[in-house]
Amino acid sequence: MSEARSSSQLSIARLIFLPALLSLAVTILRLVGERAHWSIHWFSTETGGPVPSGMSWLIGITWLALPFGVYFALKLAAAGHGPRRTAKAVGYAFTGLVILLLVYYSFLPRLTVGFPQILIFIWLAMAIPAAIQLLGWPELFKTLLAYGLASRIPVVIVMFFAMRGDWGTHYDFVGMPEQFQMPLWPRFFWLAFFPQLIFWVAFTILMGSLTGSIAFALFGKRSPAEETVQVS
């Protein structure tokens, strides 16, 4: 059993290696570009969010969850690790997206919780829809979780040093309102550590599951069990 578990872990590590390496390269490029004051259109120091703004989001790793979700899904399917039921995988992905939108636009605006405590509810709003993806396609969930951590941990490290050294980049929230200007450790945990490892990893899982399950439904190879059910 331990050998099988080790083999599974190694296969996930191999699967995410190149995407994680590319994400690291993009993170380094973005940091160097902001520190060197390259084109503001591509290397803006303004802190963004999950919704693209301007062109600098292209030199970032957030949107990579979409194509890598497709990549992981098709690779898993080709190796015989597709979802047991395609409709279930797609359904959970869209259900997660609907839950996120409902909470974000209906529940969160009604909360009277102050900053930074409101961030806890924002993290949960992303984490819960991401967690239910485990029910739809467990192998894709685990792969996206591993990739999400591998791509976001370097960002956490960069943000710590950026905050400690006041680098004047989006990694240390330059130019943000006074409420963001906390002492180093509270600022690091509230604005870097937990957001990156909860919100953004969950974002990667949810968005990757959405594009991955759709790609599998369109192009993936069905498992024999699913094909039998469809024929019967």
Provide long-range contacts, Cβ within 8 A and 24+ apart, for 110-117: 115/179, 116/179, 116/182, 116/190, 116/191
Note the pLDDT tens digit of each residue in 74-86.
Answer: 999 999 999 999 9
Are 206 and 99 contacting, i.e. CB atoms less than 8 angstroms apart? no
Instruction: Using the structure block, give the residue that is written with the tokens 């980049």.
Output: 169
pLDDT recorded at residue 2: 46
- For residues 21-48, average pLDDT: 93
Note the pLDDT tens digit of each residue in 192-226.
Answer: 999 999 999 999 999 999 999 999 999 977 665 56
pTM over 0.95: no
pLDDT recorded at residue 229: 40
pLDDT recorded at residue 21: 99
Q: Across the chain, what does the average pLDDT equal?
A: 90
Tell me the C-alpha distance between 192 and 208, whole Å: 22
Q: How many CB atoms lie within 10 A of CB 116?
A: 17
Note the pLDDT tens digit of each residue in 16-28.
Answer: 999 999 999 999 9
Q: Exposure of 131 by Cβ count < 10 A (0-12 exposed, 13-18 middle, 19+ buried)? A: middle
C-alpha closest to that of 213 among 142, 132, 140: 140
